[in-house]
Amino acid sequence: MKVRIDVDACVGAGQCVLAAPDVFDQRDEDGMVVLLLEDPPSHLEAATEHAALLCPALAIVVDR
* Choice from 2, 11, 21, 46 touching ligand SF4 (CB under 6 A): 11
29 interacts with other proteins by CB under 8 A? yes
Give the residue among 35, 5, 7 at the shortest CA–CA distance from 23. Answer: 35
CA distance 45 to 8: 24
CA distance 16 to 27: 13
33 interacts with ligand SF4 by CB under 6 A? yes
60 interacts with ligand SF4 by CB under 6 A? yes
Select from other proteins, ligand SF4, none the partner in contact with residue 29, using the beta carbon and a kind-dependent cut-off of 5 to 8 Å: other proteins
